[in-house]
Amino acid sequence: MTLAVFLGSLVGVMALGMPIAFALLFSGVALMIYLDIFDSQIIAQNLINGADNFPLMAIPFFILAGEIMNAGGISKRIIQFALALVGHIRGGLGFVAILASILFAGLSGSAVADTAALGAILIPMMVKAGYDRNRSTGLLAAGGIIAPIIPPSIPMIVFGVTSGLSITKLFMAGIVPGLLIGVGLMITWWVIVRKNDYEVLPRRSAAEIWGATKGAVWALLLPVIIVGGLRGGVFTPTEAAVVAAFYALFVGVFIYKELRIGKLYELLVNSAKTTSVVMFLVAAAMVSAWLITVANIPDALTTLLGPLVESPLLLLIVINVIVLLVGTAMDLTPTILILTPVLMPIIDQAGIDPIYFGVLFILNNCIGLLTPPVGTVLNVACGVGKIGMEDIMKGIWPFLLVEILILLLLILFPAIVTVPLDWFT
């Protein structure tokens, strides 16, 4: 009954249009009243504790780093570098979009930021070159979800804080799956463009490729610094976020000289607005997480899924199907905050590697960003590509199918995640 009260109140107020953070608080209050333990001081205390967490400091700095990169010319140079490398191949702009998504993923950690930044530049170029607008927009959206998987990843920070797992290990575990998605998208795009006579850009000279590489080298160094620093134990994920923000600021102001100091105020305000949304969600989810524990909801779910605990593979398949369905109706961050405290006890009981599960869980939630009706990345891509939801679904389905197949591949072969993780850590 406690599970029904929690889910009923949460889904009910969300259906009425209440923001998810307030819906989480409302469901928490409903559960407290049902359990006859209502105390406003408990709510306030858990709200404060939810936001008062050192690893969460990484979020505002990574968000700020992404804002600075867009304004400081780093994004533009990554696209120019990708164009110089693969722009001359048939369907080259599609390969440029995927390669740029992989490179930019190592800078921002946000699927929405990647899709908006790259889509605004590449979609008009692709349409002008004769590419199908629906397919081009779908490709940019599918490539955008690589960002929360390859480090630095804001969703992995949220998952790590909620689950108590090592954020550094989660970062390292996401590298190979993120690259695998990029390869899968490239193969899919190659199959698609074989049937189309798209305009081929002229091959760049060696001097032009070298010039584009020199222009992008400062941008390309950042993911190397972050991953290298984390693997070498030089800094924590939170410190890595500060390094990323400072590095982006230094490069934008003193190297590329495209970022004016006067622009910083606007970037700080935009970062603060985005951060406030995420942090309030995390704080509100802490109230629900505390009550979920008090009400023994994980135990109830464990009893429900108990027969599957002896078969980890079947359990993973069932959980991922559930998460995939939830992802169609709920955004990434709330899904992580709500389901993590419920699912982790079951994962521990089944003996599944929690870091490995975290990667599957994040990837699954990222796929949810591409599924209607909520699909945040899908909606952003529609806005950037100037098409409707029905049109983008026509263009994205082959890429979405490939990403689901990669998720299934990771479920069936855990070594794809665990073996590289052992090496990285």
- The tens digit of pLDDT for each residue in 239-292 reads 888 888 888 888 888 888 888 888 888 888 888 887 887 778 777 777 777 777
Kindly report the pTM of this predicted structure: 0.81
**What was the pLDDT predicted at 174?**
92
Q: pLDDT-derived band of residue 406, with 50, 70 and 90 as boundaries? A: very high
Mean per-residue pLDDT for 3-7? 71
Q: What is the pLDDT of residue 354?
A: 94
Compute the average pLDDT of residues 157-170.
89
DSSP 56-77: GGHHHHHHHHHHHHHHTTHHHH
The more confidently predicted of residues 399 and 4 is: 399
Radius of gyration of the chain (CA): 22
Q: What's residue 198's pLDDT?
A: 67
**Higher-confidence position of 59 and 348:** 348
Between 105 and 145, the higher pLDDT residue: 145
Domain spans, the chain: 39-424
Percent of the chain at pLDDT > 70 equals: 93
Which of these, 113, 239, 184, 210, lies nearest to 403 by C-alpha position?
184
pLDDT at 3 over 70: no
Mutual angle of helices 389-412 and 376-385, in 10-degree steps: 140
CA dihedral 376, 377, 380, 382 (to 10 degrees): -110
Q: Are 135 and 106 in contact (CB under 8 A)?
A: no
Q: Cα separation of 178 and 142, whole Å? A: 12
Please state, in angstroms and as integers, the Cα–Cα distance from residue 121 to each residue in 96, 145, 147, 152, 260, following that order: 11, 17, 17, 23, 21
Mean pLDDT score, 135-146: 91
Region 374-401: mean pLDDT is: 84
Quote the pLDDT of residue 176: 93
Indicate if the pLDDT at residue 53 is higher than 90.
no
Dmax (CA) of the chain: 73
Q: Is the pLDDT of residue 349 over 80?
A: yes
Could you give the C-alpha distances from 414 to 81, 312, 352, 409, in angstroms and in order? Answer: 34, 11, 10, 8
In 3-state terms the chain splits into helix, strand, coil percentages (rounded to 5) of 80, 0, 20
pLDDT tens-place string over residues 182-208? 999 999 999 988 877 666 677 888 888
pLDDT at residue 360 above 90?
yes
Q: What is the mean pLDDT of residues 52-69?
A: 78
Q: Is the predicted pLDDT of residue 175 greater than 70, yes or no?
A: yes
Q: Tens of pLDDT along 284-315?
A: 777 777 777 677 666 666 677 777 778 889 99
Q: Which amino acid is at 121?
A: I
CA distance 278 to 333: 8
pLDDT over threshold 90, residue 181: yes
Average pLDDT of every residue of the chain:
83
Q: What is the pLDDT of residue 197?
A: 67
Q: How many residues does the chain have?
A: 425
Q: Are 370 and 396 in contact (CB under 8 A)?
A: yes
Kindly report which listed range (11-15, 145-149, 219-223, 252-256) carries the lowest average pLDDT score: 11-15
